[in-house]
Amino acid sequence: MAGRAAVPEVIWARPERTGRGPRPAYTRADIAAAAVRIADAEGLDAVSMRRVAAELGCGTMSLYNYVPRKEDLHELMMDAVSGEHELWEPSGDWRADMFLVAHRTRALMHRHTWLPRLMSPVHGFSPNALRYLEHCLACLDSFEASYGTKMELIAMVNGVVTTYVTNEISTAERTRSLPWTEEQENAVRIAHLGRQVASGAYPRLAASFAEDAGPIDLEAVFERALTRVLDGFA
Amino acid sequence: MAGRAAVPEVIWARPERTGRGPRPAYTRADIAAAAVRIADAEGLDAVSMRRVAAELGCGTMSLYNYVPRKEDLHELMMDAVSGEHELWEPSGDWRADMFLVAHRTRALMHRHTWLPRLMSPVHGFSPNALRYLEHCLACLDSFEASYGTKMELIAMVNGVVTTYVTNEISTAERTRSLPWTEEQENAVRIAHLGRQVASGAYPRLAASFAEDAGPIDLEAVFERALTRVLDGFA
DNA sequence: AGCGCACTACGTACGCTGTACGTAACTAGG
DNA sequence: CCTAGTTACGTACAGCGTACGTAGTGCGCT
């Protein structure tokens, strides 16, 4: 009986198995996989302790033997999908490699749309997160700068990816649990915006609306943003 | 009796007062102010419908006369603090003006630490948000580019500010409702990270740790990031 | 002038959440 | 072997968003 710790704890520092007592019925990987399955299929809000326990086929409170707080379940989820990152031998062109890293991360987030929401706060240093970070640093071996600057570059790239993916998926994620579609939601918002702009109170915004025609290519917007950020470092 | 709409709705398109029926006891501004007061003092999670109603001194369900869903309460909050933005006559130097915009926004988010969390998803176009956007565009009058590019610049700057402030405040916000302090939490995390790095599995990360000495100046980090982003556009 | 209806107010209730706590079964270390 | 630490899990509590029903109010229309 550990009680609930009144002192902070990183789940990765706690051994998965202590030796004493009955064999645990599940591994951390099992639990993470179950949670990820639910989040992918039904959204992050569907990931409740009860739901995950049901998915595993155990009692709700049994989960707390593996994971002291729900937040730690989120850590497990993030680490699990971080493991999907396939790493490669750096090419020697750090710009190209960081481009690829960013695109892979973006793809990962599109595959697991709950990921950006969990990434916003600072998270613990999970094994796969460290593996990823080390890989980024390897990609930057050819970048002549201090480690401090390299870290800032990595943080910046990850931040941009998270920000843009969040924007890309936000309406779809929002309307997931709502009784109307993404398209309806967007239509209503755009209509309201159009009405406001037409009021004449926002001349430049109106001019901006008058200017561009075609629909925006989100991938192109992302790529431009990424290019600019990398330019800022070179 | 409007029922609950089965179709999307922007709260800013709904008139605050229709004329029919008893005078509402509160204005939207009252409600927003109450919610902001609670969020500032006790964090965003303390802003529940019951709590806000109690703060106003009315029954919980009365709030739903003003705000169809909790999400709309959040919109009210965002608009309210967006009104704190003081705008100025653009100087003619867009780079300097955007610098100032970014710093002001950062200061605003530090004053209302719940703001970054609400800003992550795309939000409706509230009056003060539009006012802010128009001001940014005015600051960019001296920037020779299409409105599309200007919009991308604004989005980028706001994204960077949000990302960095989120990182700056995340641990403090997290530990707000936890039985230990920010310092304790950080110490435990750093200790774990140190142990992992010492294992030798992450050589570059280890080198990075060996390199830098002094504590990091978050404001300086932010300023460098901002400079680089603006550089990317010039 | 007065009827009717849209509105405000709000108590109750439902289904859901995270998780504290207590108990029973089990197994490895001393 | 014994016992301490672990797993398993049912029950329970406080809190959440909000659907629904009812009572009272005052504007707009006839």
pLDDT tens readout for residues A46-92: 999 999 999 999 999 999 999 999 999 999 999 999 999 999 999 99
What's the pLDDT score for residue A4? 60
Residue in A131, A140, A146, A147 to test binding to B, most B beta-carbons within 10 Å: A147
Contact between B184 and A8 under an 8 Å Cβ cutoff? The reply is yes
Q: Which of B2-11, B86-95, B104-113, B131-140 has the lowest mean pLDDT?
A: B2-11
- Cβ contact, residue pair A192, B152, below 8 Å: no
Assess whether pLDDT exceeds 50 at residue B1.
Answer: no
Rounded to an integer, what is the distance from CA A120 to the centroid of its chain? Answer: 8
Q: Which of A10-19, A73-82, B73-82, B194-203 has the lowest mean pLDDT?
A: A10-19
Averaged pLDDT, A130-156: 97
Assess whether pLDDT exceeds 60 at residue A27.
Answer: yes
Q: Is B41 exposed, middle or buried (0-12, 13-18, 19+ CB in 10 A)?
A: exposed
Report the distance separating Cα A166 and Cα A81, nearest Å.
17
Closest CA to the C1' of C7: that residue is B21
Closest CA to the C1' of D20: that residue is B3
Averaged pLDDT, B116-142: 93
What's the pLDDT score for residue B4? 60
B91 CB closer than 7 A to any strand C atom:
no
Report the distance separating Cα B193 and Cα A134, nearest Å.
13
Q: What angle do CA A221, A222, A223 make, to 5 degrees?
A: 90
- Cβ contact, residue pair A160, B159, below 8 Å: yes
At A94, list the tokens.
């750090």
State pTM to two decimals.
Answer: 0.95
Collapse the DSSP code of A16 into the 3-class scheme (helix H, G, I; strand E, B; otherwise coil) and give the result: coil
**d(CA B218, nearest CA chain A) in Å:** 11
Assess whether pLDDT exceeds 80 at residue A128.
Answer: yes
> Would you mind telling me the total number of residues written for chain B in this entry?
234
Averaged pLDDT, A113-135: 93
Q: Which residue has the tokens 């629909």?
A: A215
Averaged pLDDT, A175-196: 94
What's the pLDDT score for residue B5? 66
Integer angstrom CA distances of residue A213 from A168, A202, A209, A216: 19, 19, 8, 9
In Å, what is the separation between the CA of B64 and the C1' of D20? 13
Provide the residue type at A233 as one letter: F
Q: Which of B83, B101, B187, B84 is nearest to B140 (CA)?
A: B101
Average per-residue pLDDT in chain A?
A: 94
* A231 contact partners, CB below 8 Å, separation of at least 6: B231, B232
What's the pLDDT score for residue A92? 97
B50 CB closer than 7 A to any strand C atom:
no
Q: What percent of chain A has pLDDT over 70?
A: 97
Tell me the Cα Rg of chain A: 22
What's the pLDDT score for residue A5? 66
At A105, list the tokens.
């991360």
